[in-house]
Chain A
Amino acid sequence: MPRPLINVPKKVKRGDAFDIRILIAHPMESGQRRDDKGQPIPREIIHSFLCTYGGEEVFRAEFFPAISANPFLTFSARAVDSGQIVFTWTDDLGATQFDSVEITVE
């Protein structure tokens, strides 16, 4: 899987909620379509996503074929301490993509 785009503020105030916006390139093949020979195209989607912050869970999601190609997601986290925010995507082929950003809490 290719590198995702991640949008997180560099600095946040302690106790504040802030938005995390992420986009990852992926076809999200729904398994509902047929190729030009009429054969079903097998499903290949990112089925789960996890975001942790300082080792604790922020947000977890289970995706279905109804999620558009190149899944985009916005959710919210609460600033507790400076640390690492880690993102994990897993797809039907078993491929897992990790990425992380540092955030400064003041």
Chain B
Amino acid sequence: MRLAPSRRFVLGAGAALLALPATPARATKADVAAAIRAITGGAPLRPGRVKLDLPLLVENGNAVAMTVGVADPLPAAERVLSLHVFAEGNPLPNVIHAYFGPRSGAPRLATRIRLATSQTIVAVAACADGTFWTDSVELLVTLAACIDDL
């Protein structure tokens, strides 16, 4: 029984690694900033009001439970029109855009998202008075999504 890998095996494994497709391009902070500008039109972002809930340590990036919302009730003139979530380390910066209609009960949502790597997730809330509020979560992902079949 041989314990050490053969020279041929090691060379072959190295060649197989090289043949793997390059990792897909990642969104950058600038991409996220551009995506946010498309929502805000350049209006300033203020921290507060909106709360983004994500686990800080993610074991499986294929389905990560996320809750985002504005908890405190706001006067009608300042009501939340929409919530937007962006990922700085995924191949694409956008995650979800959500819009709240006249029959909405509260400006919040929960869903499951994919995370390609450890990164910062940013939420933006757009209010009817033209203000924009933000929150972000920096998290660690141990098993990434998007790249390979699992």
Chain A positions near chain B (C-beta within 8 angstroms): 16-19, 30, 32-34, 38, 52-54, 56-69, 71-78, 80
Contacts and interface: CB of A to CB of B under 8 A. Distances in A.
B95 A66 contact: yes
Interface SS of chain B:
loop
Contacts of B92: 64-66
B57 interface: no
Contacts, number: 113
Interface stretch (B6-14, B41-49, B103-111, B127-135): B103-111
B111 A71 contact: yes
Contacts of B75: none
Given A64-B94, A66-B87, A73 B110 contact: yes
Given A60-B99, A68-B63, 12 more contacts: A30-B146, A33-B148, A52-B103, A56-B101, A58-B103, A61-B97, A66-B95, A66-B96, A67-B113, A68-B111, A68-B145, A75-B108
